[in-house]
């Protein structure tokens, strides 16, 4: 019995062990199957992820191709317009039209099929985080905030994603597209006419922009109050928002008008007034808008008027502008390139140091637009003279090309965003009020200031010039860039939508009517053979004469290889220091001084010009003689000023007599009558 009992228990143990082994094998097999399934799922997930990444890459390439094709089509049409002498539509307006057409196609003609993998989940949070970590089956995924969408657009996620693909980060405009445009404006500035009208340009750019900002801000605040009374205001809109709108639409960009002026050879003073104002008031508008944003009164309500807060904003304006100005000038002065033997490296270094000025100013809390503008002006005055001839040509062509592409890209993108931007707020009352305010603000800038300026000008700003400046106050790239930089609130979205319409109207209507306006105002065209007025030394700005003497005698010899040697301008006791600071090239170039400021000042009396091995002398009667120069003769600063400033575009006009000084051994210029006859034949053809 005992043995049978032991045998029974042994059988039970063996049976239990057998069951245990079977269960273990089953669990092991299940685990193995589960691992294999997870591995297959992971592999499939990786394949799906790679496929999505490839599709996203193709989509991004297609989006960029759209903009490249837009620019290509714009360039070809520009060529056709120039060939046909069609001036009713400028290239920027054409780029906007093409952008509008592409925007319509992307918005209404192309629909992306819905992705079944998109899942919409609701989660109640108090704020919208910039990044979000989502736990999906033990794996954490990071999602970034792309923006708010309305409830009606939840089912159109794919279409919204496609439109976001062609919407650039606003910082792209400020850090990549704006710097070459602003730098080119300063680098290619014709300082001759700019400094001749410097006082008027500063008045229009600084005083006029501030006046225009407050006029527009006050009128728009009244418009907002009217909208609030009749219930047409869908969100907060404060007085500071109205002032910000006034600041951004006060930035003029008459690129269309100036291009036509340049092509038709319009009066140089009118060109200088418009171009100088547009260059400087862009910088003023940027600093003014940032000062308005920085307006922070004490207390809970940040939109009430407070004198101390306003004075603080004014201090911010002066500090940011002066700091940006100093940084730009300092960077331009220290841009030394000692790579003349390697023009490619020299051009690359010059380009990078110029662009870094904008980024350095933004990183330091200043305004990159102001810094890069004055950096370009300083480099054109000093650094350009130190570059090799190859680098001089390359830098001019490089920045001209970048300016052309960036400007047309921005105007194409303007047309595109009218349909691709998802948060437009169009209010008819606000739009009509904005157009009226912009018109009155421009009038308050031009006419009162012109009246005051004419009280002190020998050559008055005529009424037809004033009407033309009033008409030519176009809005463009800077206004668009400032408005698109922040579209988070209801007020900023309404301002952005209205700004687009203002830019469209001014570019198409005002820019397209430039030729007709010139004819209506009977503004004279100088043309290729016209006689241009030259200012005398007594007519030029007094502080410019003082600055020129200091710059010509001391700064130019130190910072460039041009100008008289310091040994001829510094006292004898400073001889060792003068020899140390003067480069050997300065002695070689002493008798061949050339300056792009050349036509700023010109005496009505006798003038002696030395160029190469030819000396041309003229007197009040217009008679001229030629001979060989006298080398090694030291001249005082006034004589050097009169001689150096007598070179404009290597062409001299005195009392109707034109002296052309050829730059090379090419064919001599035709006589004046022959050139007039040839120009007449070309015009008839």
DSSP string, 421-462: -S-----HHHHHHHHHHHHHHHHHHHHHHHHHHHTT-SS---
Give the model's pLDDT for residue 475.
86
Which region among 124-133, 301-310, 569-578, 588-597 has the lowest average model confidence (pLDDT)? 588-597
Do residues 262 and 339 make contact, with C-beta atoms less than 8 angstroms apart? no
Mean per-residue pLDDT for 347-365? Answer: 91
Q: With a cut of 80, say whether residue 357 has pLDDT above it.
A: yes
Mean per-residue pLDDT for 365-369? Answer: 89
pLDDT-above-90 percentage for the chain: 20
Do residues 410 and 477 make contact, with C-beta atoms less than 8 angstroms apart? yes
Alpha helices per DSSP H over 455-513: 463-471, 477-484, 490-505, 511-512
Give the model's pLDDT for residue 429.
93
φ and ψ of 119, to 5 deg: -125, 130
Handedness of CA 217, 219, 225, 227 (dihedral sign): negative
Which region among 184-198, 527-541, 637-651 has the lowest average model confidence (pLDDT)? 637-651
Residue 418 vs residue 632, higher pLDDT: 418
Ramachandran region, residue 632 (left: φ > 0; alpha: ψ -120 to 50; beta: rest): left
Q: With a cut of 50, say whether residue 667 has pLDDT above it.
A: no
Which region among 391-400, 502-511, 625-634 has the lowest average model confidence (pLDDT)? 625-634
Pick from 4-13, 86-95, 382-391 the range whose average pLDDT is largest: 382-391
Q: With a cut of 90, say whether residue 217 has pLDDT above it.
A: yes
* DSSP bridge partners of 611: 614
Which region among 199-213, 228-242, 275-289, 557-571 has the lowest average model confidence (pLDDT)? 557-571
Handedness of CA 75, 76, 81, 84 (dihedral sign): positive
The whole-angstrom separation of Cα 468 and Cα 466 is: 5
Mean per-residue pLDDT for 404-413? Answer: 89
Handedness of CA 211, 215, 216, 220 (dihedral sign): positive
Alpha-carbon dihedral angle through residues 95, 101, 105, 108, given to the nearest 10 degrees: 130
Measured from the Cβ of residue 64, the count of other Cβ atoms closer than 10 Å reads: 12
Alpha helices per DSSP H over 84-166: 91-104, 157-165
Structure tokens at 435: 């157009």
Do residues 364 and 327 make contact, with C-beta atoms less than 8 angstroms apart? yes
Mean per-residue pLDDT for 225-247? Answer: 90
Which region among 120-124, 246-250, 618-622 has the lowest average model confidence (pLDDT)? 618-622
Q: Whose structure tokens read 């850090």? A: 175
Q: With a cut of 80, say whether residue 669 has pLDDT above it.
A: no
Task: Please state the pTM of the whole predicted model.
Answer: 0.74
Mean per-residue pLDDT for 88-92? Answer: 76
Which region among 12-21, 89-98, 211-220, 597-606 has the lowest average model confidence (pLDDT)? 597-606
Structure tokens at 582: 């003067």
Give the model's pLDDT for residue 206.
92
Residue 235 vs residue 26, higher pLDDT: 235
Q: With a cut of 90, say whether residue 426 has pLDDT above it.
A: yes
Could you tell me the pLDDT band of residue 221, with boundaries at 50, 70 and 90? Answer: very high
Residue 452 vs residue 342, higher pLDDT: 452
Q: With a cut of 80, say whether residue 552 has pLDDT above it.
A: no
Give the model's pLDDT for residue 656.
35
Q: How many residues does the chain have?
A: 685
Mean pLDDT over each residue of the chain, to the nearest integer? 75
Could you tell me the pLDDT band of residue 358, with boundaries at 50, 70 and 90? Answer: very high
Could you tell me the pLDDT band of residue 305, with boundaries at 50, 70 and 90? Answer: low
* DSSP bridge partners of 615: 610, 627
Ramachandran region, residue 37 (left: φ > 0; alpha: ψ -120 to 50; beta: rest): alpha
List CB contacts of 343: < 8 A, sequence separation 6 or more. 388, 390, 391, 394
CA angle in degrees (0–180, nearest 5) for 58-60-65: 95
Structure tokens at 171: 């910082």
Give the model's pLDDT for residue 254.
74
Q: With a cut of 70, say whether residue 529 has pLDDT above it.
A: no
Would you give the DSSP letter of residue 387?
S
φ and ψ of 456, to 5 deg: -115, 0
- The per-residue pLDDT for range 588-607, each reduced to its tens digit, is 555 444 444 443 333 333 33
Give the model's pLDDT for residue 645.
43
Q: What share of the chain is helix, strand, coil (3-state, %, to 5)?
A: 65, 5, 30
Do residues 557 and 582 make contact, with C-beta atoms less than 8 angstroms apart? yes
Alpha-carbon dihedral angle through residues 6, 12, 17, 20, given to the nearest 10 degrees: -160
């Amino acid at each position: 019995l005992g043995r049978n009992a032991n045998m029974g228990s042994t059988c039970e143990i063996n049976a239990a062990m057998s069951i245990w082994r079977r269960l273990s094998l089953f669990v092991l097999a299940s685990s193995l199957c589960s691992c294999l399934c997870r591995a297959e799922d992971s592999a499939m997930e990786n394949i799906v992820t790679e496929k999505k990444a490839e599709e996203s890459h193709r989509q991004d390439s297609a989006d960029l191709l759209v903009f490249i094709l837009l620019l290509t089509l714009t360039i070809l049409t520009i060529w056709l317009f120039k060939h046909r002498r069609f001036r009713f539509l400028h290239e920027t307006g054409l780029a906007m039209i093409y952008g509008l057409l592409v925007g319509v196609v992307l918005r209404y003609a192309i629909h992306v099929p819905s992705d079944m993998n998109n899942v919409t989940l609701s989660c109640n949070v108090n704020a919208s985080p910039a990044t979000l970590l989502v736990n999906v089956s033990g794996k954490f995924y990071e999602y970034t905030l792309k923006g708010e969408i309305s409830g009606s657009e939840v089912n159109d996620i794919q279409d919204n994603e496609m439109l976001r693909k062609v919407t650039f980060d606003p910082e792209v405009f400020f850090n990549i597209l704006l710097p070459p445009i602003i730098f080119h404006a300063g680098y290619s500035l014709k300082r001759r006419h700019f400094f001749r009208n410097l006082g008027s340009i500063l008045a229009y750019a600084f005083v006029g922009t501030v006046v225009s900002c407050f006029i527009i801000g006050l009128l728009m605040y009244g418009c907002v109050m009217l909208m609030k009374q009749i219930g047409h205001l869908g969100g907060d809109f404060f007085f500071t928002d109205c002032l910000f709108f006034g600041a951004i639409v006060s930035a003029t960009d008459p690129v269309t008008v100036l291009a036509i002026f340049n092509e038709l050879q319009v009066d140089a003073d009118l060109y200088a007034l418009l171009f100088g104002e547009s260059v400087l008031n862009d910088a003023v508008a940027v600093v003014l808008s940032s000062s308005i944003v920085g307006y922070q009164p004490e207390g809970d309500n940040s939109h009430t008027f407070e004198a101390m807060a306003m004075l603080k904003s004014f201090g911010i304006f002066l500090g940011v502008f002066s700091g940006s100005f100093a940084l730009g000038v300092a960077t331009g002065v220290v841009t030394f390139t000692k790579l003349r033997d390697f023009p490619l490296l020299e051009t690359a270094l010059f380009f990078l140091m110029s662009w870094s000025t904008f980024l350095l100013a933004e990183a330091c809390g200043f305004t990159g637009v102001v810094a890069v503008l004055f950096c370009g002006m300083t480099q054109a005055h000093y650094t350009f003279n130190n570059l090799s001839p190859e680098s001089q040509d390359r830098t001019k062509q490089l920045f001209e090309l970048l300016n052309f592409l960036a400007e047309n890209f921005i105007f194409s993108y303007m047309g595109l965003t009218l349909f691709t931007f998802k948060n437009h707020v169009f209010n008819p009352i606000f739009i009509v009020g904005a157009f009226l305010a912009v018109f009155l603000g421009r009038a308050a800038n031009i006419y009162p200031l012109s009246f005051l300026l004419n009280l002190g000008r020998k050559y008055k700003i005529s009424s037809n010039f004033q009407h033309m400046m009033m008409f030519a106050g176009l809005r463009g790239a800077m206004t668009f860039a400032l408005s698109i930089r922040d579209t988070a609130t209801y007020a900023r979205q309404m301002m952005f939508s209205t700004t687009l319409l203002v830019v469209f109207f001014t570019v198409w209507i005002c820019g397209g009517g430039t030729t007709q306006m010139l004819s209506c105002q009977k503004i004279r065209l100088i043309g290729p053979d016209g006689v241009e007025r030259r200012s005398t030394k007594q007519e030029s700005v007094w502080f410019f004469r003082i600055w020129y003497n200091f710059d010509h005698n001391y700064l130019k010899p130190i910072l460039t290889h041009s100008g008289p040697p310091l040994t001829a301008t510094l006292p004898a006791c400073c001889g060792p220091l003068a020899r140390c600071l003067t480069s050997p090239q300065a002695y070689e170039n002493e008798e061949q001084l050339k300056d792009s400021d050349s036509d700023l000042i010109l005496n009505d009396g006798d003038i002696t010009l030395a160029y190469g091995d030819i000396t041309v002398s003229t007197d009040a009667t217009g008679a001229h003689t030629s001979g060989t120069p006298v080398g090694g003769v030291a001249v005082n600063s006034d004589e050097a000023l009169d001689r150096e400033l007598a070179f404009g575009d290597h062409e001299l006009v005195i009392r109707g007599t034109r002296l052309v000084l050829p730059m090379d051994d090419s064919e001599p210029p035709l006589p004046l009558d022959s050139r007039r006859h040839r120009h007449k034949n070309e015009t008839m053809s």
